[in-house]
């Protein structure tokens, strides 16, 4: 018996309450499907999801089920960027997962369709569906179109920094603002939103070939309808829960795709947190191991040339997987009930790539371009890079690790010894950068911005101010226990762990310390004091003395969601999820 029908026997109030909600009597005995989405007027990535919800509901009805709509709207990192609002971003992922747990557990359903597009909404849904562990299908909300001159939103940081330096006038800045988001959907670059849509498909939880479709495409509505039909089928199947489908091999597949697309560093927060929900362990070291020697193939912004809408026109996730299939676990199960390898063969036989080519030709006509598939997704033997796209750096400065996206970092900064310039907030740092109080050869630190410090906001504007500066962008590094936008480029190192708020070595850095950064050797360490080299033993002794003098900063948030996060957040290298085991440590 389906769990929804068991619930009806236990709760005599359930039927009349659902009839009062608008259910028809004949629907009460059908498979009941939970439709969760982040629909709301919060940003372009969620503003259109109501249409996908209705398409999924229609598909559910066609397959003999009844869908119930639930909502937990996400926030927009872009809208809160540069304000204290961004401090709530990562915590919102936890709250979305919690609401899914609450909504589904309070009135159990037989299967679910989860619909989201963006940075924390999609990871929150993925964590939530793994936690409640009913059969589930993910529908991703697609990507927005590029604006005129192929303008995309991540370029706004550069326009803003150029305006602050007096290089462009207000009218040029306003032109960029008015044209960067011409439609609904996730921002058109491989930021966190696009990365997580790709991850949903790579994990086997979304329909093959569905990630990062143009958000305005009628094909996306058809995928949502198909997801609804599939959810009903899964409700009546055995062994098709997320815990049955998603394994360590599934995560390894996703990380290899992440390497191939030069995905957002925020993925190092989200995949480990998802794995934790399934009692699996993925860490920064897992990413580093799989990225070593992996092919980087995708020439899409921010690391590449083209807007993200061209990713789908070039064949999307399936085309990436075809290029790296020799390294994938092709026998990994997916939500279709078929293996990854079987799905790829079906797509080829069903004309998927021909349809993508038609889209590409239409886009070239619209934008007056002549982009080919291989301009966007490089063949395996002509990869953009052969060492993945991220590296985990370790040393006495980051014993648990720190992350750099080396595909977006100038080669000049792959190996450098720099002079420390520590700041205890982003506001202090960006002011120094914009007014040229930071000099070539500096290692600029922004600390106390980790999960326990201030919620782990993005250091986007500071990173863009540095990367858009012709001199600083190739001569300094930005190091933080906070994180970066998926749009960030330049010599930036994030997630430095342990974070400053818990007394990590980043809190002990002083002006004039010498900092060694070496991407190839995976090193981030303090090698000198006051401009003079010291032995590792001397550095250890100096840091021990500093630690004795160090005092934690007062808790920034006294109540509410961020107080909870500051108390319970795990290390960034573990995923910064709410670690309830911390209760036991107190």
Active-site residues, by number, are 485
For residue 455, what is the enclosing H or E element?
A: none
Strands 111-116 and 136-140: parallel
Helix spans in 27-72 (H) = 49-62
With 0-12 / 13-18 / 19 or more C-beta atoms within 10 angstroms meaning exposed / middle / buried, residue 477 is buried
Helix spans in 203-300 (H) = 218-235, 242-245, 248-261, 267-277, 284-291
For residue 158, how far is the Cα from the chain centroid? 21
Strand partners of residue 442: 419
430 neighbors 421 (Cβ within 8 angstroms): no
30 neighbors 68 (Cβ within 8 angstroms): no
How far apart CA 356 and CA 374 sit, in angstroms, is 13
Residue 560 in 3-state DSSP? helix
**Percentages helix, strand, coil for the chain, rounded to the nearest 5?**
50, 15, 35
How far apart CA 391 and CA 175 sit, in angstroms, is 36
282 neighbors 254 (Cβ within 8 angstroms): no
Q: Give the torsion through C-alpha atoms of 357, 358, 362, 367, to 10 deg.
A: 0
103 neighbors 68 (Cβ within 8 angstroms): no
Residue 17 in 3-state DSSP? helix
Compute φ and ψ for 492, nearest 5 degrees: -120, 135
Nearest by Cα to 118 from 278, 301, 264, 274: 264
For residue 183, how far is the Cα from the chain centroid? 21
How far apart CA 295 and CA 312 sit, in angstroms, is 19
What is the rounded radius of gyration, in angstroms, for the C-alpha atoms of the chain?
Answer: 24
Q: Give the torsion through C-alpha atoms of 276, 282, 283, 287, to 10 deg.
A: -150
């Amino acid at each position: 018996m389906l769990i929804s029908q068991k619930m009806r026997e236990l709760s005599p109030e359930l039927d009349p309450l659902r009839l009062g909600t608008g259910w028809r009597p004949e629907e009460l005995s059908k498979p009941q499907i939970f439709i969760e989405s982040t629909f709301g007027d919060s940003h372009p990535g969620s503003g259109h999801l109501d249409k996908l919800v209705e398409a999924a509901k229609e598909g559910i009805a066609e397959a003999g089920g009844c869908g119930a709509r639930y909502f937990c709207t996400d926030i927009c990192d872009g809208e809160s960027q540069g304000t204290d609002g961004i401090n709530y971003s990562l915590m919102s992922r936890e709250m979305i997962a919690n609401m899914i747990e609450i909504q589904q557990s309070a009135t159990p359903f037989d299967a679910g369709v989860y619909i989201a597009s963006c940075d924390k909404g999609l990871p929150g849904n993925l964590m939530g569906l793994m936690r409640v562990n009913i059969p589930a299908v993910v529908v991703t909300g697609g990507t927005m179109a590029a604006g005129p001159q192929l303008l995309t939103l991540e370029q706004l940081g550069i326009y803003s920094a150029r305006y602050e330096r007096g290089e462009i006038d207000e009218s040029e800045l306003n032109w960029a603002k008015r044209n960067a988001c011409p439609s609904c959907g996730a921002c058109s670059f491989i930021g966190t939103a696009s990365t997580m849509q790709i991850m949903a498909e790579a994990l086997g939880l979304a329909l093959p070939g569905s990630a990062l479709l143009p958000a305005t495409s009628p094909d996306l509505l058809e995928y949502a309808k198909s997801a609804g039909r599939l959810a009903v089928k899964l409700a009546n199947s055995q062994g098709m829960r997320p815990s049955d489908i998603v394994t360590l091999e599934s995560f390894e597949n996703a990380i290899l795709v992440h390497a191939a697309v030069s995905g957002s560093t925020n993925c190092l927060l989200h995949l480990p947190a998802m794995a934790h929900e399934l009692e699996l362990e993925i860490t920064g070291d897992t990413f580093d191991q799989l990225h070593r020697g992996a092919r980087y193939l995708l020439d899409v912004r921010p690391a590449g040339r083209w807007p993200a809408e061209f990713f789908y026109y070039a064949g999307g996730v399936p085309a990436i997987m075809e290029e790296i299939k020799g390294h994938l676990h092709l026998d990994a199960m997916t939500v279709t009930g078929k293996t990854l390898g079987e799905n790829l063969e079906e797509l080829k036989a069903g004309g998927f790539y021909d349809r993508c080519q038609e889209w590409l030709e239409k886009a070239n006509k619209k934008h007056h371009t002549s982009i080919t598939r291989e301009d966007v997704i490089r063949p395996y033997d002509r990869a953009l890079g052969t060492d993945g796209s991220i590296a985990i750096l370790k040393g006495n400065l980051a014993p648990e690790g720190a992350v750099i996206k080396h595909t977006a970092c100038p080669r000049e900064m792959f190996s450098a010894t720099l002079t420390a310039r520590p700041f205890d907030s982003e506001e202090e740092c960006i002011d120094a950068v914009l007014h040229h109080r930071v000099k070539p050869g500096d290692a600029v630190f922004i600390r106390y911005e980790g999960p326990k410090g201030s919620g782990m906001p993005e250091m986007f504007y500071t990173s863009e101010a540095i990367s858009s500066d012709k001199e600083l962008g190739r001569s300094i590094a930005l190091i933080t226990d906070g994180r970066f936008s998926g749009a960030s480029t330049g010599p930036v190192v994030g997630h430095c762990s342990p974070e400053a708020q818990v007394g990590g070595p980043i809190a002990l850095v002083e002006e004039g310390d010498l900092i060694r950064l070496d991407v190839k050797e995976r090193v981030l360490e303090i090698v000198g004091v006051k401009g003079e080299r010291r032995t590792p033993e001397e550095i250890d002794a100096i840091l021990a003395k500093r630690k004795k003098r160090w005092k934690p900063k007062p808790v920034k948030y006294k109540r509410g969601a961020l107080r909870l996060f500051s108390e319970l957040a795990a290390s960034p290298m573990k995923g910064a999820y709410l670690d309830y085991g911390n209760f036991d440590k107190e």
